[in-house]
Each structure stands twice: as structure tokens, then as C-alpha cells.
A = this chain, B = another copy of it.
Amino acid sequence: MNWNIYLSGEIHTDWRQQLIDGAKAHNLPVTFSSAVTNHEASDAAGDLLGAEDNSFWRDHKSSKVNGIRTKNLIAKCDIAIIRFGDKYKQWNAAFDAGYCAALDKPYITLHADDIIHPLKEVDASAMAWATTPAQVVEILRYVILEK
């Protein structure tokens, strides 16, 4: 069995690459997927269908185009990793966590311990909380390969 792992959240650090490298190092049979992580391309996704003057509608249009991708990838994933960094609002990550929870998709949160309290509802529905990408790799290895 190949496992589909959806990576949600922070795009300003290299945690995705660390997961990918770690999975490769353990020869895990996994396929990673993500929303588009190129920030500018993501914000401009709707521009492909014509420019918008109004910033609300520009964001709306782009988010819906991005949703075509993310709705499909979350629906097909076996495990989601939801990453919260120390900057920005990151409401999309919490939104993905709620979406996973309602679909019964097991997810693991990845965040530092100084934001335990504001993330308590998100963590309460998670299957695990990790603080480092290395821990996530360990969990994936255990879940997928352990006898």
C-alpha cells in the first residue's frame, strides 16, 4: 500500500522538504501533496480567469481555484500533517484541520509548545502532536512500516 500524505500550513520554512527527505531516507512508500506553496502564484491563481479590481473578489476567486486542488487532495489523502509556524494568522491550516476532522481523516499537528493553548481545539481532534519534522517522519515510519 502506498500512503498519500497531505501537507497543510506554513510555507515559509522548509518543513515540507525535511519530511520529504526523511521519508526518502526511510524508503517510506508515500506520496506527498500540498496546496500550491508558491505564495505569489497562489494569490494570483484567479487572475488566470481575468483580473479583479476588488481585493475581496480577487482573493475569493483565487481561493476557489486553489480549492479545486486542495479539496481533491485532502479527499484522497490517508494522513494529513497540519503545520503551524510562528508567523501570520494561518487560518487556512486550522480550516484544513476542521475539514479533515469532519471527513474522519487522521491528521497530525506540527507546532511549537508555545501555541498549545490557542490550538487546543485543533489538537483535540488530531491523532498526534509533533514539534519537529523528524518526529513526524518517525511517526510515519512507525505507522507505515512497523510490523
Contacts and interface: CB of A to CB of B under 8 A. Distances in A.
Given A31-B1, A101-B95, A72 B67 contact: no
A125 B67 contact: yes
Copies per complex of this chain: 8
A116 B61 contact: no
A72 to B, nearest CB: 5
A18 interface: no
Contacts of A66: 121, 124
A48 interface: yes
Contacts of A123: 56, 59-60, 63
Interface string A68-88: 110110001011000010001
A94 interface: yes
Contacts of A31: 1
B138 A48 contact: yes
Contacts of A101: 95, 98-99, 102
Interface of A: 1, 3, 31, 33, 36-38, 41, 45-46, 48-50, 52-57, 59-69, 71-72, 76, 78-79, 84, 88-104, 106, 108, 113, 115-125, 127-131, 135, 138-139, 142-144, 146-147
6 contacts: A55-B117, A56-B113, A90-B118, A91-B118, A91-B121, A92-B122
State the 10 A-B residue pairs at the shortest beta-carbon distance, nearest first. Answer: A98-B98, A63-B124, A102-B102, A94-B94, A89-B118, A95-B98, A59-B120, A98-B99, A91-B94, A92-B121
